[in-house]
Structure 1
Amino acid sequence: MSYSQYVNKEIETQSAHRKDNAIPVEFEKRNEFFIDAKSRKYDQQYFSMYQYRYNRLHQRALSNAMKKWGDGTRKVDGQAIVKQEKILDIEGGKLCWVIGTVFVDAKYKLNILNDVEKGTDDVLPLEPVSYLDNNEQPIVMLEDESGRAILHNEEFLQNNLLVTGCIVGVLGIEIQAGIFEIMDVVYPECAPQKPLKDSARSGKIAIVSGLNIGLEGHYDLKLELLKQYLIGELGGDEDKQFNSNISQLIIAGDSVEPLQTIDEEEDLKNYITTNNYGSKNISKYNNESLTQLDQFISELITSMSITVMPGDHDPAEICLPQQPLHKSLFKSNQSVLGSERLSRLTNPTWLDVNGLRMLGTSGQNVNDVKKYVARQSDSDSMKIIRASMKWQNFVPTAPDTLYCYPFDNCDPFVLDSELPHVYFVGNQDKFETDVYKCPDSGAQVRLISVPQFGSTGEVVILDLSTLETEVVMIEI
C-alpha cells in the first residue's frame, strides 16, 4: 500500500483524496516566539520592551496623524489644529494632537507594588474576572516621558477601545489641568503584507481550541465524533468529499482540563514560594487527560498533519510567549515529533501554508483585554480582535496585566515587519469571523474567533483558496 493510499484509507469515495498542506518545519518567522531554554534571562526590567514598542509604533502613528490633522494647516470650527511634541506642552483651551502610550487604571488590576507592601509578592495571585467594579468606566490616560493626561469623553471611549500599551495619536482640547477632552484618535500605519498567490493554495484547515479533555464521559464521546468527522468516517459521500479537503488540524490551546478540586485557600498555600527557584511542585493535571490527548492525536496523525499550541489550561509556563508543550506528553507520537506531521509550536505562533501567513494565539491576549471592558458581552471578542489590528499590537496589556517574558530591547507582539493574512484567536465564547481592511494600505486580514470545543462542540474550517470560513458543530 502506498503512502497516499494509507493516508486516504478512511475515505471511501473514489473522488475524495485528502490534500496534503503540512506546515513546513522551517520558514521565516517560524521561531519568532521561541526562546532557547539556555539563553533565558529573567533579571532584566521591562523598560526596554516598552521603549522598543514606543519607538517602533510612534513614527507610524505620527505619519497617520500628520495626514489626518496636519500641523497648523487644518481647522475645526475656525481653530487651527496644532501638533504638540509632548503631553507636558499641551496648553489649556487650544485644539491640538499628541502621540503617546495609553495607560488604563481600574480598581481590580493586579499591582505588584501592593503585593510587595503586603509581603505577598511570592504568591501567585488569583486572577480577577474583571478589573472593573460594577461596570464602572476605567480611567484612561495618555502618557509619554513628560507626563500623563486623563482622557475624557465617555461616549467616545466606549466606541473606541483603548487599553494599556496601545500607541496612538489623540486629538482634543485640555479642558482643565491634566484633563484632555478627546475628539478623535489615529492608530499606527499597518505593517507591510506579503502578496498572496492564489494558484498555490488549495484545501482546508481545521482550527479547534478548548478541547478541555478531562474525566467526564461526554468529552470522550465528543472527541470520538470529532475524530471520526475529521478522518471521514461520519456522513455520506458529500461530507467525506468535504472532509478530504481538510489537510491540517490546528489545536489552539486549552487541550486538557486542569483539576478543579483544590479550593482557593489551598491553592494559594500551594503557590507560596519555598525556595529561590519557584513554587511547590504540585501537579494540577490528571495523567489520564494527558494520555487521552496523546491518543487523540495518534489516531488522527495518519490522516492529516497536526499543529499543537499550548494554552492557559495546559501544562506550560504562565508567561507569554508560551513555549511548545514538552515532547514527553506525546509518547505515542515520538516517531513523527519534529516533522511536518506533528508540530509543537509556541503561543502565539506564526504559520505558513504555501505562502499564506497566519498568526494565531490561544486567547489569553483577548481574554485579558475583556477584563478592561465594561458591560462585557459575547461580541467583545471580535471587537478586541479587530482592535488588535488597529493597534498593530496584539498583546498590548503585556506585561502590565498579562505575564510575559522580559524581552531585552524587543517586543515580538508588535506587528512590525509583517501583517498576517489570517489572524485567529482560540478559546472564545463563540465563533465569529470578519475581515479587517487597513485604512492606509488597503491590506486585508481575515479575523477568526475560535470557540471552545469543550463547551460549544464547534470546530472552524478555513478554506485556503478563498479564506472563507465555516463552523461545524459536533453534538451529542
Structure 2
Amino acid sequence: MATDENGRVAGTVTQRAHAAYTNDDAECGFVEAEGDGAVPNFFQQYSQTYFCRLAEVRRFFQQAAPDAYVSLSEVPTGTASTVIGVIYKQMPLKPSVLREYAGDVMLPVPEVKRANYVSDEDRVFIEDETGRTELCLASAGDKDGLVSGVVMAVRGTQMEDGRLRVEELRYPPTAPLPPPPPSTTLPKSADGSVDTEPLYACFLSDIDPTAARAQLLLDYLTGNLGIDLPRVRRIARVVIAGNIGDSDAADAFLANLAASVPVDLLPGDRDPVRSAWPQRPFHRILLPRAATPGKTALTRCSNPHTFTLHGRRFLGTSGQNVDNLMRFSRVTSTTEALHRLLRYRHVAPTAPDTLVCQPVWRRDPLLIRHLPQVFFSGNADAFAAQTVSLPLPSAISSTDAAAMDTAAPAECASVLLLSVPRYAASGAAVLLDLQTLQVQLLRVDDLP
C-alpha cells in the first residue's frame, strides 16, 4: 500500500460517493481570464466601481418595478418621489487614513481600535451621478442596519433644509434562480437502483495543519482512522473556507486529503494571496504537491467562490465580508449578515469603502446575479444554520421590507445560510446533506 511521509496509509476509503460538480467562479467574474486582462488596473478610480454597481442595480429595480424614478437633482420640494442611489454612511468613529497620517505628523493620541464603529452620531446619505442628499430616517434601526456601498431605492419627500424625509426603504429585487444545471446523474447502488443514502459536503475553515486536531480530521476524512467508514464514504467533497497557510505542513495536509476526496480551497485573510477582493486562488507554486494535476483532486478557488454540486448552487466566502459588515452596522450574527447580503444583492457592499477590492469599470463582479441555494461564510466565531425565504422577482411589484417578508410561500425561494466555525478553535466541521440540506456538526474531539 502507498504511504505518506508519516507512514499513514494514503486513501484508505474505497468506493467513495461521487457528486456532479461545476466550478462557476469564472462565470461570475471572480477570476479573470488568462491574458492581459488577468492583471487588474489599480490606477483606475474607485468611483467607477460605484457607478457600475449603481447602473446595474438600477436596471434590476426598473425591470422588477417600473416606477417613476427620478435623479437626486430632480427631486421636487414637498412632493413624494423615488430615487435610486448608493448609500453612504458618515461615521465619526470609522478609522481614517487622513487622521492616521495627521497623527504621524502631529503626534496626537492614536485612534482606539474598536470591534464596532457604529454610534448615535452616524449620518446616512444617498448619492447618484447628480448629487448627494442626507436621509432623514424614521427610526434608528433603519440607520443602524445600513452600510456604505449598498444600492437602495428610497421614497420620500424633500424638506426645506434639503434632506429627504424617508417614507420607504426598498431593497433591490431578489436575484433570480440560476438556470437549471444539466441533468445530474444520481449515484447508483450496487444493484443499479438510484442511491437514496445521504450524500455529504464537508465545510471547514481556519486549519492549523500542524495541530493534532487537523491530523485527526485528516485521518477521519481519508478513512485512515478506520471508524465511521459508511459515513466517510458518503462525503463527496470538502470545502475549506480560508486560512490554511502556505507551509510544507499545509501542502502535505492538502495533498493527503485531496488524494482521497475532492477538495475546494478558498483563500482567507491570512493566506498568501492578494488581499483585494475578489481574492485570486492560491498559486500552484505555493502547493507543489497538493496542486499536482492528476495526483490530487484539489480545486484552487477564488474568494468569493460559487459552484454547483449535486444540482445545488452554492455561494460562499472566507468571512471577511461578513466581519466587515458587522463592524460597521448593528448586525450581530453571521446568519443575519448573510441574510442582509442576499437582500442587498451584493456579496461585499462595504468594498471598496472599508474592505479592499480591485477597482472595476465595466462590471461589479461582487453583485449577486443568481440566487444560491446555500450561502456560507467561513471563519465564524460559532456554528449556525438558518433557512430563509426570499420572494422571487415576479412575486412582488415593489421591494419594500414589508413585501419582502410577507410574500406567499409559493412565490419564494429558500436559501440555507451557513456559518462555518474556525476549526482550529472549535474542532468542528460542518456536514451538509446534499439531498435534504440537513446540517450536522462533526467534532473530532467526540470521535470514539
- Decide: shared fold, TM above 0.5: yes
Number of aligned residue pairs: 404
Deviation at 1:398, TM superposition (A): 1.1
Partners in 2 of 1:408 and 1:331 — Cα distance? 35
Aligned twin of 2:284? 327
Which of 192, 195, 205 is the equivalent residue of 2:201?
Answer: 205
Structure 1: distance between partners of 2:111 and 2:231: 44
Alpha-carbon contact 1:432-1:449 (below 8 Å) kept = yes
Q: Cα offset for 1:362?
A: 0.8
Q: Measure, in 1, the Cα distance between the counterparts of 2:28 and 2:355.
A: 23
Shift of 1:176: 4.9
Q: Is residue 8–residue 18 contact of structure 1 (8 Å, CA) maintained in 2?
A: no
Match of 1:43?
A: 43
Give the equivalent residue in structure 2 for 1:270.
none
SS state of the match for residue 83, structure 2? strand
User: Structure 2 vs 1, CA of residues 127 and 325 (structure 1 numbering), >3 Å: closer, same or farther?
Assistant: farther
Q: For 2:26 and 2:201, how far apart are their aligned partners in 1? A: 20
> What code does the residue aligned with 1:407 have?
V
Distance, in Å, in 1 between the alignment partners of 2:86 and 2:222 is 48
C-alpha deviation, 1:253, in angstroms? 0.5
Structure 1 residue 199: deviation in Å? 6.0
Indicate the residue corresponding to 1:187 in structure 2: 171
Q: Which runs of 5+ in 2 are unaligned?
A: 2-8, 188-198, 394-411
Asked whether 1:316 is paired with 2:301, we answer: no
Q: Secondary structure at the match of 2:218?
A: helix
Question: 2:318 matched to 1:362?
Answer: yes
Answer yes or no: is the 8 Å Cα contact 1:104–1:163 preserved in 2. Answer: yes
Aligned to 1:105: 90
Partner of 1:56: 56
Tell me the percent identity: 27
Task: Tell me the distance in 2 between the aligned counterparts of 1:157 and 1:165.
Answer: 18
Q: What secondary structure does 1:20 align onto? A: coil
SS in structure 2 opposite 1:335? coil
> Cα deviations across residues 338-373 of structure 1 (Å, max 9, x unaligned)?
x87111111112222244322221111111111112
The structural deviation recorded for 1:162 is 1.9
Corresponding residue number in structure 1 for 2:18: 20
Whether the aligned pair in 2 keeps the contact of 1:207 and 1:460 (CA below 8 Å) is: yes
Could you say what the CA RMSD is over the residues aligned between the two structures, in angstroms? 3.3
Counterpart CA distance in 1 for 2:291 and 2:296 is 13
Paired residue for 1:298?
A: 255
Match of 1:34 among 25, 28, 32: 32
Deviations 1:211-255 (A, max 9, x none): 145xxxxx611112211332235585xx32222110111111011
- Deviation string 1:397-418 (CA, Å, 9 cap, x unpaired) is 11111111112312100123x3
Question: 1:29-428 maps to which residues of 2 (within 5 A)?
Answer: 29=27, 32-34=30-32, 36=34, 38-39=36-37, 40=39, 41-64=41-64, 66=66, 83=68, 85-112=70-97, 128-130=113-115, 132=117, 135-136=119-120, 138-153=122-137, 155=139, 157-158=141-142, 161-193=145-177, 194-195=179-180, 200=185, 203-213=199-209, 220-234=211-225, 236=227, 239-256=228-245, 290-336=247-293, 341-374=297-330, 377=332, 379=333, 381-416=334-369, 418-428=370-380
CA distance in 1, matches of 2:351, 2:185: 36
Distance apart, 1:8 and its partner CA: 6.7
Q: How far apart, in 1, do the equivalents of 2:61 and 2:25 lie?
A: 30
Change (3 A) 1:9 1:200: same
Q: Label 1:399 to 1:170 Cα distance change in 2 as closer, same or farther (>3 A).
A: same
Q: Tell me the CA shift for residue 303 of structure 1.
A: 1.8
Task: Please give the alpha-carbon distance, in whole angstroms, between the structure 2 residues aligned to 1:27 and 1:371.
Answer: 27
The residue type equivalent to 1:444 in the other structure is S
Please tell me whether the aligned partners of residues 49 and 361 of structure 2 are also in contact (alpha carbons under 8 angstroms).
Answer: yes
Aligned equivalents of 1:99 and 1:201: distance in 2?
A: 45
Q: Which amino acid aligns with 1:244?
A: R
- Whether the aligned pair in 1 keeps the contact of 2:258 and 2:296 (CA below 8 Å) is no
**Equivalence for 1:452:** 422
Structure 1 portions without partners, runs of 5+: 12-16, 71-82, 214-218, 257-288
